[in-house]
Structure 1
Amino acid sequence: MTREPPGCRRVNLVTLYTFRSITSHCSLPLPERCATSSQDAFFAFHRDLDLVRKFMKPLLIGELAPEEPSQDRTKNSEITEDFRALKKTAEDMNLFESNHLFFFLLLAHIIVMEIIAWFTISYFGNGWIPTLMTAFILATSQAQAGWLQHDYGHLSVYKKSTWNHIVHKFIIGHLKGASANWWNHRHFQHHAKPNIFSKDPDVNMLHVFVLGERQPVEYGKKKLKYLPYNHQHEYFFLIGPPVLIPLYFQYQIIMTMIVRKDWVDLAWAFSYYARFFITFSPFYGVLGAILFLNFIRFLESHWFVWVTQMNHIVMEIDREPYRDWFSTQLAATCNVEQSFFNDWFSGHLNFQIEHHLFPTMPRHNLHKIAPLVKSLCAKHGIEYQEKPLLRALMDIIGSLRKSGQLWLDAYLHK
């Protein structure tokens, strides 16, 4: 029996400092700086509720008086209750129980690819063909490690949060050279408020792209033209997939670890780079190994960007509408049809809707809850979007083109 988590009338004082302290022990999304309910998010993100309450209790500063306004007044209570009943059904179906063999095999196939990559270079030499083969193998292993660290980061493998955090640091740090704390801080903001400007870092495009329907019109009316946004669907191919990981993420991750003095994550990341250069410098030299590493990142970045954007960038992107949890996630996510390849290629993120509704549910169970989610959507007249893989990828370009045209029209005529 669990007690009620921080609800719609309770106010917790969570500064950025305390948020970082809390997220070193749990996966708490960045809280709202307003009076809004966090109950469904609280249940969605955490397996061990008592552990989180231990950190939240000292931060409770009071409750809103009955006459104080709450931003929950526009939320649909019927949908909220139905969703909570659905979550209870999922628990009764044991859909939050993970198959440890499944995740072991995922890790094993990543390690096997690493071994094959080393064998290819050591046996065939460092010619162009073996180098390209090795780069594609390592890019594949990096992409798959990215999906696997995502599982552990969401605490969806082990019942104990501690074990999830340990393996998460190993995979994202030692196998990928990135930071678990950087990922947690960024990714859980995205999950808490997907596609919400100023709250979801994944839609902070640093003036490089304009997204959705509101932002391009606002930029156009203000005559903001950092780039020719009516051509963003074209320059996306040049400065989107090619540079996100090798330039932006790689720099941001390293600087974040240094600035925040996150020495543990930095040590894990160092172990990755040490292993990489010890393995490949004998074949390419130090400079060649650096170029080889960035080429692998370049290939992986294409994979990552296309998969992650096909579920979100084509959906509603706007300011905070203060919807209930279920409606918020459905407005910002869509699915891609299931197949063995699609599941593997996307790390089961083709079930993005179900993943956003139930972040701690192991990915191999997402397809089991999908029919029940569809039924709930049909009951409340909420669109449940699912599409073929190629169409989902093409829709990214269509969405960028549409937003670019909205900007151009507003820029010229409003």
Structure 2
Amino acid sequence: MGKGGNQGEGAAEREVSVPTFSWEEIQKHNLRTDRWLVIDRKVYNITKWSIQHPGGQRVIGHYAGEDATDAFRAFHPDLEFVGKFLKPLLIGELAPEEPSQDHGKNSKITEDFRALRKTAEDMNLFKTNHVFFLLLLAHIIALESIAWFTVFYFGNGWIPTLITAFVLATSQAQAGWLQHDYGHLSVYRKPKWNHLVHKFVIGHLKYGKKKLKYLPYNHQHEYFFLIGPPLLIPMYFQYQIIMTMIVHKNWVDLAWAISYYIRFFVTYIPFYGILGALLFLNFIRFLESHWFVWVTQMNHIVMEIDQEAYRDWFSSQLTATCNVEQSFFNDWFSGHLNFQIEHHLFPTMPRHNLHKIAPLVKSLCAKHGIEYQEKPLLRALLDIIRSLKKSGKLWLDAYLHK
């Protein structure tokens, strides 16, 4: 009787056992048409799902054939909800003898980073302070009110118009940090909008390698002022944000975005007419775009990286970005994105808490000998030009002076 029962139990165990895979097998499935990845030692076939992935194929596909545990946790605060989508994709587990990290990644760094994340959770650093964002909203509304009053009281002459434009550009730059967070994806490689559609050679000559000759790249540090910022927000970024809201059916966010344009035209058409209001809006966007581009690129464009192949999550983010020194002005000017390292490591952490986790990140870097780059604001801005000039010269030497 007992023997028969044991045999039945053994058969049941064999029925529920799942396939196991080695890293050698998993790493073969890193193609666009064949993608596996590992999360918490479980193996998932995401080949078809990657097309539906809300963050896009590029993000999830980056970890094909690798361990994606830390990236997965970074972007998905509600693990229970996302777990429902993972269940149908599960095909097996790592073999018991296999390490949790692939390609010989430093398991100690990964272990320490996960402990750091647990510390951040225990400190409630992922909890939003609603007062902070209410004050931010009040700040934006106050600036918009000042802008309207300037035109209302002083008229629509050149000087009141310029003052109003700068005030509105400031209010929209502050609101723009919210839009940046809305569509933000952390850096595995340089963000695709850094490249501005073949207009610049950045880092290790991604487009230079293809010998694209749309523009004289050796002068890109000069025409960046005329092409980069004007293209990004008035054209590309606004389009991207609106389309993201529509694709993801975020109708409330879309309504808020549209309300700005309604409010703007209702407010300023009486002063400038329809055509004048349109020109005024684009001038404001032009000013805002310069602000936004310089702030975001001082953390990204200056980093000399390529594919960052097979780095752990912590190391890859430290390689891909840098910080700007903390001060009241720098925090305000950058929307707290001067803590770009922490923002990339913990993309769902509210910005008002980034400075609290920064000392712990620095300590972890010191422990493992990883460079934590932090620089003054002016130097960070000048480094953008230096970086463009350097990569432009490399392109010129590589493809024209042969």
Structure 1 length-normalised TM: 0.79
In 2, distance between residues paired with 1:98 and 1:252? 26
CA contact (8 A) 1:44 1:359 kept: yes
Matched, 1:76 2:106: yes
SS in 1 for 2:223: helix
Q: Which residue of 2 aligns with 1:11?
A: 44
SS in 2 for 1:348: coil
* Alpha carbons of structure 1 residues 70 and 226: separation in structure 2 relative to 1, 3 Å: farther
Matched, 1:242 2:230: yes
State the 1:262 CA deviation.
5.1
State the 1:261 CA deviation.
9.1
Which of 96, 103, 114 is equivalent to 2:126? Answer: 96
Which of 173, 193, 200 is equivalent to 1:209? Answer: 200
What does residue range 324-335 of structure 1 map to in structure 2 within 5 Å? 324-335=312-323
* Alpha carbons of structure 1 residues 43 and 252: separation in structure 2 relative to 1, 3 Å: closer
Q: Which residue of 1 aligns with 2:325?
A: 337
SS in 2 for 1:10: strand
Q: Structure 1 stretches of 5 or more lacking a match?
A: 154-182
* Alpha carbons of structure 1 residues 71 and 93: separation in structure 2 relative to 1, 3 Å: closer
In 1, distance between residues paired with 2:52 and 2:277? 40
Cα distance per residue 1:74-132 (max 9 Å; x no partner): 42111111111111222233322332212211111111111221222222221111111
Q: Which residue of 1 aligns with 2:275?
A: 287
* Alpha carbons of structure 1 residues 377 and 33: separation in structure 2 relative to 1, 3 Å: closer
Q: Which residue of 1 aligns with 2:178?
A: 148
Q: Which residue of 2 aligns with 1:278?
A: 266
Which structure is richer in relative contact order (CA contacts within 8 A, separation 6 or more)?
A: 1
Cα distance per residue 1:38-69 (max 9 Å; x no partner): 11112212222111112332333445678999
State the 1:390 CA deviation.
0.2
Matched, 1:373 2:361: yes
In 1, distance between residues paired with 2:346 and 2:289? 26
Q: Structure 2 stretches of 5 or more lacking a match?
A: 1-37
CA contact (8 A) 1:12 1:61 kept: yes
Q: Which residue of 1 aligns with 2:381?
A: 393
In 1, distance between residues paired with 2:100 and 2:129? 41
State the 1:312 CA deviation.
0.8
In 1, distance between residues paired with 2:59 and 2:386? 31
SS in 2 for 1:11: strand
What does residue range 9-408 of structure 1 map to in structure 2 within 5 Å? 9-13=42-46, 14-20=48-54, 30-32=60-62, 34-63=64-93, 72-150=102-180, 153=182, 183=183, 187-188=184-185, 191=186, 193-195=188-190, 200-215=191-206, 218-219=209-210, 223-253=211-241, 260=247, 264=251, 267-408=255-396
In 1, distance between residues paired with 2:108 and 2:64? 23
In 1, distance between residues paired with 2:311 and 2:173? 33
In 2, distance between residues paired with 1:100 and 1:144? 16
State the 1:325 CA deviation.
0.3
* Alpha carbons of structure 1 residues 261 and 46: separation in structure 2 relative to 1, 3 Å: closer
State the 1:270 CA deviation.
3.2
Range with bigger deviation, 43-52 or 247-256: 247-256
In 1, distance between residues paired with 2:118 and 2:214? 48
In 2, distance between residues paired with 1:204 and 1:71? 32
SS in 1 for 2:44: strand
CA contact (8 A) 2:105 2:310 kept: yes
In 2, distance between residues paired with 1:99 and 1:38? 30
In 1, distance between residues paired with 2:387 and 2:187? 23
Count of residues paired in the alignment: 362
CA contact (8 A) 1:277 1:289 kept: yes
Range with bigger deviation, 29-38 or 113-122: 29-38
Cα distance per residue 1:287-316 (max 9 Å; x no partner): 111001101100000000000000011113
- Kindly report the root-mean-square deviation, in angstroms, between the aligned alpha carbons of the 2 structures: 2.8
State the 1:267 CA deviation.
4.6
CA contact (8 A) 2:50 2:61 kept: no
In 2, distance between residues paired with 1:47 and 1:272? 29
Structure 2 length-normalised TM: 0.82
CA contact (8 A) 1:120 1:134 kept: yes
* Alpha carbons of structure 1 residues 93 and 127: separation in structure 2 relative to 1, 3 Å: same
In 2, distance between residues paired with 1:293 and 1:214? 35
SS in 1 for 2:160: helix
In 1, distance between residues paired with 2:290 and 2:376? 19
Amino acid at match of 1:209: F
Identity %: 73
State the 1:348 CA deviation.
0.7
CA contact (8 A) 1:107 1:148 kept: no
In 2, distance between residues paired with 1:402 and 1:294? 32
